[in-house]
Structure 1
Amino acid sequence: MVRRIFFIAFLIVLAFLLYLYPNFETIIAGVAILLFGIIMLEEGFRVFSKGPLQNILKKATNKLYKSLSVGAVVTALIQSSSLVSVITISFISAGLIDLASGMGLVFGANIGTTATTWLVAGFGLKIQIAALALPMLVFGLVFSFQKTIELKAVGNVLAGLGFFFLGIHYMKEGFDVFKQYIDLTQYAIPGFFGVIVYTGIGIVITAVLQSSSATMALILTALSVGQIEYENALAISVGANVGSTITAIIGSLSSNIAGKRLAGAHLIFNVVTAVVAIIFIYPLANLVRVIAEFLNIAASDYTLKLALFHTIFNVLGVVLMIPFIKKLERVLMKLFKEQIDKDVDEPKYLNESVLEFPSAVISSLFKESEYLFKNAIFEIVAHALNIHREDVISDLKIKAVVKKSTTDFNINVDDIYYKKVKTIYGEIIRYATTAESKLKLRKKQQKIISDIKVANRKMIEIIKDVKELNRNISASFSHDNKDVQKEYDGFRKKLTMVLRTIYLFRTEEESLKYAEILAQLKQDAKAHIRKSNKSIDRLIRKDLITAEMASSLFNDFTNVNQITKKLIEVAELLYSHKDVLLEEKVLNGES
């Protein structure tokens, strides 16, 4: 609601300005064209981010200096700190990287954004940029008509650069014309009060434009034609840094608690950097003057000086924050606490931000499915056997576990399904289906998501199968026929063995041994599905059970083998070493 009111107010103010100052429209058009160029650049680079870029960002997070460097270099190359932020939030939400690594990438991205300032100040304002922009637009359009996704992306990048430079051209032209009617320097505010006011203006402009790069381009073009005082321009650049956190905050709204922590880190970093820059703005301006003289930058070249100032205070902010990253991480962990009393029916790893990239959504789907299997399906099957989960995973012999477990749990399988499984199962399928339709997945990525969907469908089938089995097992506790009791205890032993082996397969280092046991159990189950049980046949021949008892036993014998097979298949799909290896390769876009 607040955003809608803000947007409407912005449109009214914009219309009012255009009505009062018709010559202002060239500047506004330039800003719009430049923003469109930034959007196209981001869309173009987003295609390449599906593979190599994600791989680089993910692998560069084991050391702080790596994440800082990669964040800076990648942002400088793709001209989009917001894309780096979105990828980072997506990765943290999916658990692919930790918070400290994510902070390193985002802090480095802040340094990388200064490349845009240098591009505009050192290149965009020094030559007839429109002459370069138009060929880029032409070639960009040619590439965009190609069928290959990568070539289309190249077209978007070229066209984005073309629109970016064309926007600078129109903004510069607009300010040239505009100064004939109004001299904006008459609104200059000297002194420290002016620093505070213009920092606020920088925050507002960036919050409206949703791009610090656009704000810096706007201020540089105004500065180049003398429409703003250098001192005030320095303050606006500081405000632009604070305003840039709006993108990260908005991106974090759809993420989980980890994404919100990163947005909080981004905000704290930029605010602290801005406060330091404001306090020391005059010493920093003097430092810029000294360095500019050393680099032979003309004393009147305020655009390059602004670019230099922008770089210095961003680097200074990173240097100041490096010693406090671990402390900041602890503060954010306390400030944004994970809700530990969530039931299984609430997603733990699925949120809208993970749908941005295949690696994030696949990792999240795996983790959510594993969590569902471990905390709901495993428990439902164990309790349907009237056996405590703790006994299943204990060192107690299975025969002893079954012998001591003679109390009917009176569980309602349907009730547990609706409370703990149905919602999260629906979310897993929804996210998997959305990923398949929304993201451009490679064949192996499609196969993994398909396997995840299959695993979850089998989990639901297991719940339906154990519902019938639970009723008959519970009835056997009070059955007069000891032979029937013995048969059902045999079913319980078999499924308890499967559950324990799956637990050991999932948790023990020597999982290969348990994988072989599971493979043999599955093979036996498949073979037994179509064969009759010899012990039941013997009971029938000796007339020890009635026809009705035999019918129930045969049905449950088949049922137990079906449950066994499905449990093992789910475990293989979610926990096998083969799939872990596939995950590592396929998550990074390898085919």
Structure 2
Amino acid sequence: MNSEMVTTITGLLGGLAVFIYGMNLMSEGLQKAAGEKMKKVLGILTKNPIVGMLAGALVTAVLQSSSATTVMAIGFVSAGLMTLPQAISVIFGANIGTTMTAQIIAFKIDDFIWPIVFIGFVLYFFPKKESIKNIGQSVFAFGLLFVGITTMSNVMKPLADSPVFLSMIEQVAHIPILGVCVGALMTLVVQSSSATIAVLQNFASQPMADGVTSILGLTGAIPILLGDNIGTTITALLASVGQPKNAKRTAAAHCVFNVTGTFVFMWFVPLYAKFIQFISPKGPEIEVISRQIANAHTFFNITNTIIWLPLIPLMVKIVMKLIPDGKQQAAEQPLYQTRFLDTNVLKQPEAAIRLAMLELTRITEYVTEMAGHAKKAFLRGDTDAIGAVDSLEDVVDILQDSITNYLSSLCKTGKLTQGQSQRVAGMIRAASDIERIGDQYTSITNFAKLKREKEYTFTEEAMGELEEGFNHVQEMLRLTIRTLHDSDLETARQVVHQQESVEDLERRLSRKHMERLNLGSCSPENTVAFTDVLHDLECIGEYCSDIAEMLLNEKDSVIKMEKIDQRMNEA
């Protein structure tokens, strides 16, 4: 291997590395800049198919990766946030959204690359305001993306003079199926269809000896482009391993979408090339072929989506056939196993936070079950209820550890905005508070065991007062679940307000117990159990209030940051 070939290969790999780094950095910057808006966009993914498709395209344009959007959709299907048809519509949109990268690359901005890099650098590294830094990061990464493209373009020029290489390209250009295989293999290795299409655009822009004709041509580029679309489905298929069947079917739908589209378009490559040339800008082939490839990519995905969108029920049947339910029912999932957390979506913070919040809500539901059992255990001496509390306590402890580890891993990605970091910190505290509520109900159950062993008896009045306390705190727990699940600020304020009534209740019932002691109607031996159970209930109310305040503080922080941004913009 001569030095010129080594220079070409290393330059191509180096340029590709800079391109991929720039694309990932731009995706991170755009996500941070979008901030709360990403939360709203994710919220509409589960609407009707057309809205889901548009939202999928928008999310992919921000993430700069159809694979990332597809992995997110798989995670949402696995969590039960999306039905299979909804996820399929999002995937259709993701395939359209990913074509934006190729359209951007087709612009000729060579003279502006370094000014863009410098401006982005200044905005990224010097301002203290987070929103400006995020925009600067996106601009800086955008410049790096084109630095990588220019590097690849420069090192590819000698290839046009290599007879051996031209002979290989001629084979690919005249055997479409070979081009599809090359494209799929390239994307499989690089794990980014946007990167391989960028390489394709730059390679096709290299001239033959006449200085005008592309060494590949649009007819030769289209099969490789189609192969790129197939290769990008591998990431989604890998992400679905170990997931529920509907998650696997979502990944399969992505594969079926691109494979069927490729199969149809393969028969019409020459006609398709002429059509793209007709609708694209005119000029020397090497000057316009990059835009032609981008247009071919966009039109392929739009046409494929238009065909498949009304046929979503058919797509569902196909993937159900490919991945059937099977005769045997799957074993029931253990309670201590997480249902919503998906490590594949950690690089998309808003999606990961949403899944963690669902898992947090699920733990709170288990603690609410503990509340009902603890009440039966103490007031009625139900031995089965005592065992149920002990079992659920172990489940809550394990799930709390899982959520805390998941959120800690999310922090380690370094992709969180200041607002997202505050939300994650609040959720970690909330998980701890929920686990402590479980501890309090375990404490109450221990008193139930003691009450049974020592044969303590309480007056009817005392039991009625304790039942009132149990009911009041259970209502707070129910409202806390609604607060977590719906991010309902009004309910959160209601929970915080109810904490005052729990404290009043504890003082009132303690006073009444002392009065009964003075009158001799209540046994002194019962005092410890009675007062400690009341204290446990008061602590539970405090933890519920803390969880509700976490949500209220999160919203206040967002409002404060928006006001600060507004003032700085006005200044």
Regarding TM over 0.5, the answer is yes
In structure 2, the CA distance between the partners of 1:500 and 1:322, relative to structure 1 (3 Å rule), is same
Correspondence for 2:417 among 437, 440, 453: 440
Matched, 1:420 2:362: no
The structure 1 residue matched to 2:222, chosen from 205, 211, 234, is 234
| Pair 1:175-2:178 in alignment | no
Provide the aligned C-alpha RMSD in A.
4.4
Residues 433 and 20 (structure 1), Cα distance of their counterparts in 2 relative to 1, 3 Å cut = closer
Q: Is the 8 A contact 2:373 2:388 kept in 1?
A: no
Kindly report which structure 2 residues correspond to 1:167-316, keeping only aligned pairs within 5 A, or say none.
167-188=148-169, 194-225=175-206, 226-228=214-216, 230-250=218-238, 262-278=250-266, 280-282=267-269, 285-290=270-275, 292-293=277-278, 297=282, 300=285, 302-316=289-303
Q: Secondary structure at the match of 1:409?
A: helix
Partner amino acid, structure 2, of 1:219: L
Give the 3-state SS of the residue equivalent to 1:227 in structure 2.
coil
| Cα distance in structure 1, aligned partners of 2:227 and 2:530 | 71
Alignment check: 8 A CA contact 1:349 1:368 kept: yes
- 380 and 583 in structure 1: CA distance in 2 versus 1, 3 angstrom threshold: same
1:453-495 deviation per Cα after TM superposition (whole angstroms, max 9, x unaligned): 353243243144224212133236xx4x7x5475774476345
Unaligned runs of 5+ in 1: 1-15, 389-401
Return the offset for 1:202: 0.6
- 8 Å CA contact 2:363–2:396 kept in 1: the answer is yes
Deviation larger for 293-302 or 559-568:
293-302
Matched length: 538
CA distances 1:95-140 after superposition (whole Å, capped 9, x unpaired) = 666554443333222122223333334x24xxxx543222222223
Question: Distance between the aligned counterparts of 2:410 and 2:510, measured in 1?
Answer: 38
Residue identity matched to 2:417: K
Structure 2 CA distance for aligned equivalents of residues 387 and 328 of structure 1: 52
Residue 564 (structure 1) aligned to one of 528, 532, 537? 537
Question: Match for residue 371 of structure 1?
Answer: 362
Distance 1:407 1:417 in 2: 16
Query: Mind listing any 5+ residue stretches in structure 2 that lack a counterpart?
Result: 207-213, 564-571
Shift of 1:239: 0.7
Instruction: Quote the offset at 1:236 in angstroms.
Output: 0.7
Matched AA of 1:349 = F
Larger radius of gyration: 1
Query: 112, 125, 138: which one pairs with 1:145?
Result: 125
Deviations 1:37-93 (Å, cap 9, x if unpaired)? 222322322322432234234346523323323433554576443454465556666
1:469 is aligned to 447
State the alpha-carbon separation in 1 of the partners of residues 363 and 251 from structure 2. Answer: 28
Instruction: Tell whether the 8 Å contact from 2:336 to 2:396 is kept in structure 1 after alignment.
Output: yes
CA distance in 2, matches of 1:517, 1:366: 23
What is the TM-score with the length of structure 1 in the denominator? 0.75
CA distance in 1, matches of 2:2, 2:427: 51
* 1:297-336 deviation per Cα after TM superposition (whole angstroms, max 9, x unaligned): 3594544443332222211211122123345457768949
Identity %: 21
Change (3 A) 1:350 1:580: farther
Q: Deviations over 1:223-251 (max 9, x none)?
A: 22243354332111001011122343455
Query: 3-state SS of the aligned residue for 1:346?
Result: coil
Structure 2 residue corresponding to 1:120, chosen from 96, 105, 111: 105
Q: Distance in 1 between matches of 2:62 and 2:371?
A: 53
Find out whether 1:342 has 2:319 as its counterpart.
no
Cα distance change on mapping 1:570 and 1:370 into 2, 3 Å: farther
Q: What secondary structure, in the 3-state scheme, does the structure 2 residue paired with 1:53 have?
A: helix
Q: Deviations over 1:538-559 (max 9, x none)?
A: 56x36x74xxxx23x1111112
Change (3 A) 1:470 1:381: farther
Give the match's secondary structure for 1:179: helix
| Secondary structure at the counterpart of residue 456 of structure 1 | helix
Using structure 2 for the length normalisation, give the TM-score. Answer: 0.77
Residue type of the partner of 1:42? Answer: S
Query: 1:343·1:420 contact (CA, 8 Å) conserved in 2?
Result: no
**Residues 1:360 and 1:115: Cα distance change in structure 2 (over 3 Å):** closer
Query: Within 1, Cα distance between the matches of 2:401 and 2:324?
Result: 27
Alpha-carbon distance in structure 2 between the residues aligned to 1:186 and 1:88:
42
> Match of 2:373?
383
